[in-house]
Amino acid sequence: MPWYHRLGTLPPKRHTALRKADGTIHQEQLMGNKGFTGPASLLYHLRPPTTVTEVRHLAPVVYEPDPDPALRLRHFRSGRLPRGGSPTLDRTPLLFNSDVALLQVSPDRQDEHFYRNGLGDEIVYITEGSGILQSQFGDLPYREGDHLVIHRGILHRFQMDNVPHSLFIIETPSYVRTPTRYRNEFGQLVEGAPFSERDIRRPEELQTHDEIGEFRIVVRQTGGLTESLLDHHPFDVAGWDGYYYPWAFNIHNFEPIVGMIHQPPPIHQTFQGDGFVTCAFVPRPYDFHPESIPAPYAHSNVMTDEVLYYLSKNFMSRKGIEHGSITLHPDGMPHGPHPGRYEGSMGKERTDELALMVDTFKPLKVAKPALAIEDNDYYKSWVE
């Protein structure tokens, strides 16, 4: 994101020698997107980041769609997915299109390898657990409720504090950023935005590993996963500065915008990418007009597929929802509160709901593994 940050030791000018104690120089690397014009950082390594000794194709990554094209409201119980595996290599795809893929994993094993997604940015939402996101930019501690934004190409590793651990991943080929309308022409978040720069956490502690050996790197790229071996520890950065690094935003730092009457979903927006937006529904007071109906009215999101990921068991407008439920309300399908929830919301003063929303502008496909956890009768659940 466009917030300048620096850690460690840097030479006063770019592209000049940063000497080590023995008089030799550090190895500079430009890391960013969009070639030489996008957001970028300059890193100063102990050793060249290029000393790869071996490369091999590890596995293909294919998201296979549900063969049934019937358009309907759908509900998946992600809490019932098998648990276990690696935080980076055992992710289950649930929904996807060419702009975004939604995946989940409940890892129980630390990665020994280092991982980078060469296909896109990731928003990793921490549904359960805590730990440290390690990267060449330093340690970024994380906790439940964090959105970890890991931009494309950033080499990282999850060091989990505990199990159970559960991650919900939004993967996109585009650059994840704050909503345009919440940024002024200089990139600063404006007054009236539901969060500010103070709510963004950045790596604060740089770990410089001076180690020779065999270090495994797994890269997600077209064609699947590639494994390569580097002859030294990749987190050997003595200093860096710039605008490209992983960062965190906790859902509980979202400042909900409330109104006299029902406010539309865009007030809950957290981030945007190309072809999608994300939102956070957080505990908040309800509307204050004496006759207001806090639950949403039925609506058809023409040209939008709406995904809700429920993080609490109560959601003001739905029944039959459990922790980890994911609903898909596809393009143009009318949907709204379940029977009784619309009238029943009147007079209520606040909600404790917690949920993420992802709205995509192209239709989403359901990935085959989601069929095993589908509530097949969901689309009929409005009929009493």
What are the phi and psi torsion angles at 285 (to 5°)?
-70, 150
Q: In terms of CB distance, is 206 or 354 closer to Fe ion?
A: 354
Q: What is the CA radius of gyration of the chain?
A: 22
Closest CB 291 distance from Fe ion, rounded Å: 23
Identity of the residue, 249 or 310, whose beta carbon is nearer to Fe ion in the bound complex: 310
Residue 120 C-beta: closest distance to Fe ion, Å: 26
28 vs 306, beta carbon nearer Fe ion: 306
* Minimum distance from residue 294 beta carbon to Fe ion (Å): 15
C-beta closer to Fe ion: residue 148 or 279: 279
Q: Which residue is nearest to Fe ion (CB)?
A: 306
Phi then psi for residue 295, to 5 deg, are -65, 150
In the structure encoding, which two tokens stand for residue 73, read together? 């409201």
Query: Min. distance of Cβ 41 from Fe ion in angstroms?
Result: 38
Q: Give me the residues that bind Fe ion (CB under 5 A), please.
A: 306
Distances from the Cα of 129 to the Cα of 145, 162, 163, 282, 381, angstroms:
9, 6, 7, 19, 33
| Closest distance of CB 299 from Fe ion, Å | 6
Residue 301 Cβ vs Fe ion, minimum distance, rounded to whole Å:
6
Q: Which residues pair with 103 in a beta bridge?
A: 93, 169
* Closer residue to Fe ion, CB minimum distance, 111 or 306: 306
Q: Is 203 exposed, middle or buried (0-12, 13-18, 19+ CB in 10 A)?
A: buried
Task: For 330-378, list the strands marked E by DSSP.
Answer: 350-351, 355-360, 365-366
Whether the CB-CB separation of 315 and 354 falls below 8 Å is answered with: no
CB of 265 to Fe ion, least distance (A): 7
Backbone angles phi, psi at 341, to 5 degrees: -75, -30
CA atoms within 13 A on the CB side of 317: 16
34 vs 380, which CB is nearer to Fe ion?
380
Max Cα–Cα distance, the chain, nearest Å: 78
Our CB check for Fe ion shows the closer of 302 and 383 to be 302
Complex with Fe ion: residue 236 or 306, whichever CB lies closer: 306
User: What's the CA gap between 46 and 211, in Å, rounded?
Assistant: 10
Q: Tokens representing 199?
A: 């709510």
Residue-level length of the chain: 384
Quote the least distance from Cβ 302 to Fe ion, whole Å: 11
Q: Is the peptide bond before 69 cis (omega within 30 degrees of 0)?
A: no
Q: How far, rounded to the nearest angstrom, does the alpha carbon of residue 114 sit from its chain's CA centroid?
A: 18
